Structure 1
Amino acid sequence: MCSTKNIGSKCRSSITAFRLIVLIFMTAIAQAQPVDGNTYKLTLAEAVQFAKTQNKLVQAACMEESAAEEDRKDAYNAALPAITANGSYQRFTDLTLFTHGLSHSTTGPRKPTPNGATLGVDALFNIYSGGKQRALQSEQRSKLQLARLNAMDQSGNVALQTAHQYLELLRLNDLQKLILDQLNRAQTRLNNINTLYKNQKVTKSDVLRAEVLLSNVQLSLQENENDLTITNQKLDVLLNVPDTVQISPVDSAAMPKPAVSALLPFVEAAGVTNYSVQKATESIELQKARLKGIESSNKPSIGFYTAYGLNYPNYLFFPPVNQAYAIGFVGLKAQYSISSLYHNKSKLAAGKLRVKELEVQQQAYNDNVRTEAHSWYIKYAEALTRIEVNERSVEQAQVNYRIVNTKYLNQLSLLTDLLDADNLYQESRFNLIKAQTNALNIYYSILYISGNL
């Protein structure tokens, strides 16, 4: 992220952090063991951290934050005196005087000289303007904070998408192993059935069914390989790396998962720390600053102004004198717009209504976030329980498959029973991987909705 409390050091810190992360990522790539020359190992934490800085949408959000910072500086610079330097030179034509309408005229040189010139400097400093300047500064501070929150939100959103895609890639990789294992079982089973068929212990239908199942497994393998390619490309886009880069997950679906109790503080604080709620809160402050700007129009303004200049010729005397002179002045300028009393009446009413509207929206965001966070919390506890159940199911399904397979080879069960046992074993292992990745997806969703990703 490119946002810190210290605005002046924010960008320098973000650039340093970005370079460090890029260096770490490139070092990891250099040290990785490439599978085919363009495949690199990456952990889930590394992928998430890299995407939070390298992703194009995050970079664009950081640029907008930097632009908002410049706008804030401009608002503070507006309080400085407005100083203007000016100069001019004129060369006048002869003067033509008309009498009796336009029928008679006389021409002569312009007195005291046909030349004229001015050179000077003036300054205006705002002393009091009803709080308009402070309101403008507060407005720009709120806009900067909103831009910072947008950048954080964009970074968190990209991190969440990266985690989802990484876990999907992880699921598909594990599924690839399961399918290859199933393919090996199907091939072995077909060989065994062919042997039994040659010994006239099974019918031709068993051979055909085994061949059909083998073809289906091969098709599933091809489908999974295509899904792997698509998911890898999506992950490349999120990481902002070339599409030719193949990411090989280092983590596994069975990686340790936080306890349910460890996520409770995130869930309880989500109603305050959520990015949408924070942006709604800052939007209220922004509207209040705008309301103060409108109210300032109903108040007088006082300014200090001064000027000093060199003029030629001298028109301070009559008749004018062909000479240059220098003169300056200082003074105070007070102004009050009486029409603001009725011009700003509806603007003030609209501004106050918008503040109330934003406050209601903030409450709605808070309610929705708290509900969603608690929903994810309940689902996470459910996901951990599902993992335990599926782990037992895998063990039971594996034992069941071995028993049925032995029975079939001894002609004590039907091929249908063996295929059902194989499918049950395969499905139970797939469900375990799915439950493990779903739990991690929910975990990252809780981190994002609580504003901690």
Structure 2
Amino acid sequence: MKTNLASAQGISSSRYKLSLSEAIQFAKSQNKWVQAAITAENAAAEDRQDAYNAALPAVNASASYQRFSDLTLFTNGLEQSTTGPRKPTPNAAALGVDALFNIYSGGRQRALQSEQDARLKLAELNSQDQAGNIALQTATQYLELVRLNDLHKFIQDQLKRAQTRLSNINSLYKNQKVTRSDVLRAEVMLSNVELTLEQNENDIIIANQKLNVLMNLPDSVSILPADSAGMPKPEITVLLPLLEETEAASYAIQKSGQNIQVQRARVRSIQSNSMPSLSFYTAYGLNYPNYLFFPPIDQAYTIGFVGLRAQYGISSLYHNKSKIAASQLRVQELQLQQQAVADNVRVEANAHYIKYREALNRIRVNERSVAQARENYRIVSTKYFNQLALLTDLLDADNLYQESRFNLIRAQTDALAIYYRLLYTSGKL
């Protein structure tokens, strides 16, 4: 299915039949926001690798060459001067390699690595969160398209009833059994249904375009939902494990936890500024001419060294105090924010659970209402054409039947939308 949809990018107009799960999976892999989040995750992985590479020795190679001009010497102020070549040679050159390796820096390197580890995990969570959010939007838009398509069928049925009713009323009017006002009312009803049908068709086009954007497809592609509003709904017991796992699996809570890890790594990095550092360094090079002796000798020489360098910033004793306190307070701030996020997520998940249970009950009630409204319309229609009821009663019965069918479809799609919102809230979408 993914291959077929991907090839649609080069097709001017296409129609594809997709199930809800297929639409979600395709959107999670092709949506531009998801791809951007994955790109950011790859960048975070490179930043993490760079942090680990920083622990490797720093090696530099250098080379230089100088050609000196003649040397001019002045005596007695600037009145007398003599000029001659630079001794021992007017040429100078150097070629060397030096290396520096950090042995201990108070834990600064490990703190940087820990921070980048947490940032990478945060980027991964952002990618998962973005994919889940797009999946939720896709499910919501798909269900909206399902609802509109089902409504389209119902409106077409109502249009046929209105056309048949107008034809029958015209026959009754010709036989002088009904008044002209009944004919006019039936015509107005037919016009209203035609307008409703046009509005619904336009809504389908708009909903399809929104779904195409989420799935990164051309506007010319038409999606035909393979699932209907009457698809099986999960039992209420299926949602209980989701509630139990929400605080551990929620994207928002997990991201809050990683932000805390990032800030803790920053605290350790700032604290390392108050610690001494020890590094190993070495160099080896070829130099010309030889300035190690006096007078200098016109010859090249090589020499190298190894050594240890220790440093301690005394000023860090008073410069770092407020920095450390501020960073520790930010850790406490993020911990409180995580607790607040956990509270909100728990309340939201419980609300979805309650609303889903309500939606299932609403479906059962609306199913009975549709059956009752259908039978009511049949009875009132029979009475009207037997001159035992008014046209107003018939039109009201028709509207009631149509509204009950609309309400059933809305209840069915709302239940599935709530279920997918709970999946996203619990980090399972």
TM-score surpassing 0.5? yes
Question: Which residue does 1:256 correspond to in 2?
Answer: 232
* Contact 1:117-1:312 within 8 A present in 2 as well: yes
Spell out the pairing of 1:38-437 with structure 2 (5 A cutoff): 38-437=14-413
Which residue identity is paired with 1:219? L
Aligned partner (choices 16, 22, 26) of residue 2 of structure 2: 22
Per-residue Cα deviation, 1:129-170 (whole angstroms, up to 9, x for no partner): 110001111111111111111111110111000001100000
| Residues 272 and 366 in structure 1, CA contact (< 8 A), matched pair in contact too | no
Distance 1:219 1:24, change over 3 A: closer
1:304-342 Cα distance to aligned partner (Å, 9 max, x none): 111100000001111111100000011111111111111
| Long gaps (5+) in structure 2 | none
CA deviation profile, 1:62-111 (whole Å, cap 9, x unmatched): 00000110010000001001010101010111112223333332222111
Q: Distance in 1 between matches of 2:3 and 2:306?
A: 59
Task: Judge which range, 297-306 or 99-108, deviates more.
Answer: 99-108
C-alpha spacing 1:377/1:24, structure 2 compared with 1 (3 Å): farther
Could you tell me how far apart the structure 2 residues matched to 1:282 and 1:101 are? 73
SS at match of 1:344: helix
Secondary structure, counterpart of 1:241 in structure 2? coil
Q: What is the CA–CA distance in structure 1 between the aligned matches of 2:2 and 2:397, rounded to whole Å? A: 49
Tell me how far apart the structure 2 counterparts of residues 261 and 210 of structure 1 sit (CA, whole Å).
Answer: 48
Aligned to 1:10: none
What CA distance in whole angstroms lies between the structure 2 residues aligned with 1:128 and 1:81? 13
Distance 1:273 1:103 in 2: 88
8 Å CA contact 2:287, 2:300 repeated in 1: yes
Q: Distance in 2 between matches of 1:354 and 1:104?
A: 72
Count of residue correspondences: 427
- Does structure 1 conserve the Cα–Cα contact (< 8 Å) formed by 2:278 and 2:311? yes
- Tell me how far apart the structure 2 counterparts of residues 121 and 26 of structure 1 sit (CA, whole Å): 54
Contact kept? 1:268, 1:370, Cα under 8 Å: no
**Which range is displaced more, 56-65 or 99-108?**
99-108
Q: Deviations over 1:251-302 (max 9, x none)?
A: 0000001011101111222122111111110000000001111000000111
Query: How far apart are the structure 2 equivalents of 1:267 and 1:292?
Result: 36
Matches of 2:365 and 2:74, distance apart in 1: 111
Q: Is the 8 A contact 2:276 2:311 kept in 1?
A: yes
Q: Distance in 2 between matches of 1:111 and 1:308?
A: 25
TM-superposed deviation, 1:40: 1.1
User: CA separation in 2, counterparts of 1:291 and 1:55?
Assistant: 37
Q: CA deviation at 1:25?
A: 4.9
> Considering only aligned residues, what root-mean-square deviation do their CA atoms show, in Å?
1.4
Say if 1:124 and 1:303, in contact at 8 Å, map to a contact too.
Answer: yes
Q: Secondary structure at the match of 2:66?
A: strand
